[in-house]
Amino acid sequence: KAGVTQTPRYLIKTRGQQVTLSCSPISGHRSVSWYQQTPGQGLQFLFEYFSETQRNKGNFPGRFSGRQFSNSRSEMNVSTLELGDSALYLCASSLDRGRGNSPLHFGNGTRLTVT
């Protein structure tokens, strides 16, 4: 079974631009979560999608948005990029909405650099 796939692996953007990151979950997994990883703030929860609906949201500005498609694939969008948005963005999928001790399965991440 293929794991969580994130594309692209690397991105370089300029301040003020917008960017879209893509995530394909493990086949059969219906929940997709996004996390931002930076050296200063560590791993922080961005949002979670399940059945094409955002179910939970972290403490990030509205410039960060996402969506989920009917096949469970998800995209994350960041508009008006700032230097501080430079980070590793990790996508994770799970079979269901955190049933019991159900873990997250992570992708390899997208490294976004904003110049």
Partner 1 sequence: AQTVTQSQPEMSVQEAETVTLSCTYDTSESNYYLFWYKQPPSRQMILVIRQEAYKQQNATENRFSVNFQKAAKSFSLKISDSQLGDTAMYFCAFRAWYDFNKFYFGSGTKLNVKP
Instruction: Please report, as ranges, the residues that interact with partner 1 according to CB under 8 A.
Output: 3, 31, 33, 35, 42-45, 48, 55-56, 58, 88, 90, 92, 94, 97-98, 100-101, 103-109, 111
Going by DSSP bridges, is the β-strand pair 87-94/105-106 parallel, antiparallel, or unpaired? antiparallel
The three state secondary structure string of 92-104 is EEECCCCCCCCCC
Nearer to partner 1, 79 or 95 (CB): 95
DSSP 8-state assignment for residue 15: T
Nearer to partner 1, 10 or 83 (CB): 10
Closest approach, Cβ 8 to partner 1, in A, equals 13
Closest approach, Cβ 97 to partner 1, in A, equals 4
Closest approach, Cβ 28 to partner 1, in A, equals 15
User: Rounded to 5 degrees, what are φ and ψ at 104?
Assistant: -90, 145
Nearer to partner 1, 5 or 79 (CB): 5
**CA-closest candidate to residue 65, choices 84, 80, 83:** 80
Nearer to partner 1, 79 or 88 (CB): 88
Cα–Cα distance, 78 to 59 (Å, whole number): 14
